[in-house]
Structure 1
Amino acid sequence: MNPQAPARTRGGRVAVATAVAGTVLIAAGAFWLSFTALADLARRSGIDAGQAWAWPLIVDGIIVVSTVAVVALARQRSALYPWALLAAGALVSVTANAIHAVVAADADVPGVLAASVAAVPPLVLLAITHLTVILTRPASEGATPPLADEDKTAPERGRPELQAVIPEPEPEQAPVRELAARLRAEEGWSNKAIARHLGVHPSTVGRWFARPELTTRDEQETL
């Protein structure tokens, strides 16, 4: 075991916690800038001041919720709908912030510059929300545990395990094989009868008679 592994684990947790805290602060700032701009645009558009706060909450809220849903439903067909909501919410938020900047900006500030500056908060909110969700996901979801040594040598699932065929030990005594030859040549016994008489497998008797030296000896005795 590597003694530095626990230290790296603790260091990684501290880094993730720091990154999450930073992303939350950035997301809060981006949400607040976008919220105030959209709320002011809602008031200028005729929505009552007591209700204007709900409009930016709906627009920017759908960005946050859709981003979380997209990450949670990654690589699934059902993620298409959250992606559509995310694109629509981001488009509405960026466009509304740009319009508010053009309407509320000073006369000496170019409209393109004002719109570009106002588009930063909703875009940052979109990116930082996605990053926060990824950082807070459990590490086990994105990592595949390595195979143990015993798993590497185990047979694959769904495939029958191949068993080695262990040959039956043959009697090494010459008289046993000669007796089998005499029983076959003189008595006309079959391989199965000889195997039962000698207590061996019929395939063993077959291998004995398949040997050239035994067949030759058998033929000589027959002659």
Structure 2
Amino acid sequence: MRAWPGRQWAVITSAAGTVFIAAGAFWLSFTSLADLARRSGIDDGQAWAWPLIVDGVIVVSTVAVVALGGERVAWYPWTLLAGSAAVSVTANSLHAVVSADADVPAGLAASVAAVPPVVLLAITHLTVILTRARPSEPADQTAKTAGAVSVALAPLTTMQADTVAITPSMSERAAGRRERAVELRESGLSNKKIARALDVHPSTVGRWFADAHQSDEPAQRDSAPLPEGATA
């Protein structure tokens, strides 16, 4: 019995949770980067585009890395992913250092601000993996399927073996035709009539008798008497 329905619900629940976490991490990183863009001189109406570009590249390149797997062209999305993640983490840390209260250590503020982009990177990767998860067929089901296929193919294998056993080989058929040709020749039929009776070409019948005649000649020469006065 398959346990896939329960696993499917677990995958759905995990995917939903990762989506909410990714949305929260994206929002925290988005607001920090947008404020940093405004502090850097970008107009308020355009500051929102900068974090969208930086964190958007993280999401898109992560999906591309998972989709391409181990293919050779995967180096390019990996490069985009590393670059965009480095920019996002650095920018969030700088924003925290600039906007943090004076009594907060700069290292602590930078570490806290670096969490959202790192979580966004990891959770996006996890979400893509969960959505691509597929159930694997149980081993016993695979064995049953293989056994059923073997049983279904068994009659065919038996029929093929019987056919091979019943069907004579080509050499046996040729030898039988030659013997039949000799019998018909002794009965007085011509090569053409013998060929017609055996369903072969007349030249084939002529070659059979020529080969038989040549094989008999050495024996005849060996059995011929020696001339008078000659020594063996």
TM over 0.5: yes
The answer for the alignment partner of 1:96 in structure 2 is: 91
| Residue 122 of structure 2 is aligned to residue 127 of structure 1 | yes
The answer for the alignment partner of 2:42 in structure 1 is: 47
Runs of 4+ in 1 over 3 A off after TM superposition: 143-148, 150-153, 163-168
The answer for the alignment partner of 2:28 in structure 1 is: 33
| Structure 1, unaligned runs of 5 or more | 154-162, 169-191, 198-223
| Residue 7 of structure 2 is aligned to residue 12 of structure 1 | yes
Q: Return the match for 1:149 from 146, 149, 152.
A: 146
List aligned pairs for 1:1-223, cutoff 5 A: 2=1, 5=2, 8-139=3-134, 146=142, 148-149=145-146, 193=179
State the alpha-carbon separation in 1 of the partners of residues 103 and 42 from structure 2. 28
Provide the aligned length of Structure 1 versus Structure 2: 164
What's the CA shift for 1:152? Answer: 8.6
1:128-173 CA-to-partner distances (Å, cap 9, x unmatched) read 0000000011516xx58957415996xxxxxxxxx979778xxxxx
State the alpha-carbon separation in 2 of the partners of residues 105 and 35 from structure 1. 17
Which structure shows the higher helix fraction? 2
What is the TM-score with the length of structure 2 in the denominator? 0.62
The answer for the alignment partner of 1:218 in structure 2 is: none
SS where residue 139 of structure 1 aligns? coil
What is the TM-score with the length of structure 1 in the denominator? 0.64
State the alpha-carbon separation in 2 of the partners of residues 57 and 41 from structure 1. 13
1:19-42 CA-to-partner distances (Å, cap 9, x unmatched) read 011000000000000000000000
Name the CA shift for 1:167/1:50 in 2 (closer, same or farther; >3 Å): closer
| Structure 2, unaligned runs of 5 or more | 151-159, 167-177, 184-232
What is the letter of the counterpart of residue 146 of structure 2? Answer: D
Q: RMSD in angstroms over aligned alpha carbons?
A: 3.2
1:24-63 CA-to-partner distances (Å, cap 9, x unmatched) read 0000000000000000000000000010000000000000
What is the letter of the counterpart of residue 13 of structure 2? Answer: T
Percent identical among aligned pairs is 67
What is the letter of the counterpart of residue 82 of structure 2? Answer: A
